[in-house]
Structure 1
Amino acid sequence: MAQSNARSRLLTVAEVASLMRVSTMTVYRLIKAGDLAAIRVGKSYRIKEDDVDAFIAARYTEAG
């Protein structure tokens, strides 16, 4: 298995919410439902930027 040397930046729930233009509660719901992978750090979560990009790409649809 090949391993990439590039590291994905870890984002806070608030940063993900801002990026996706949704509320923080929506991000928490996505994490709880298992739709968005997250890492638990103490009492908070961190989400890999690559995982956010993959989540958005998987749900992207063309208008029209």
Structure 2
Amino acid sequence: MSQTTLLKVSEVAQVLKLNILTVYQYIRQEKLSAVKIGRNYRIEEKDLRGFIEEHKVKSK
């Protein structure tokens, strides 16, 4: 089984420079994929990279 890096919601919020509640909102709205482990959410690093790529603004 390959190693998967899982990030905490707080870590994702730091990377994106967003409030933690905003990250939870993105998860609930299914804008950001997450894995629920017990009562906590974890975001795979590859999903965070994909989220960032999807939201890049194209320059003219």
Give the root-mean-square deviation of aligned CA atoms: 1.3
Percent identity for Structure 1 against Structure 2: 34
Letter in 2 for 1:49: E
Inter-partner Cα distance in structure 1 for 2:3 and 2:55? 24
Relative to the length of structure 1, the TM-score reads 0.84
2:12 matched to which residue of 1?
16
TM-score by length of 2: 0.89
4+ runs of 1 displaced by more than 6 Å? none
* Alignment partners' CA distance in 2, 1:38 and 1:7: 16
Give the unaligned 5+ runs of structure 2.
none
Aligned length: 59
Which runs of 5 or more structure 1 residues have no equivalent in the other structure?
Answer: 1-5
Structure of larger gyration radius: 1
Partner of 1:34: 30
The equivalent of 2:50 in structure 1 is: 54
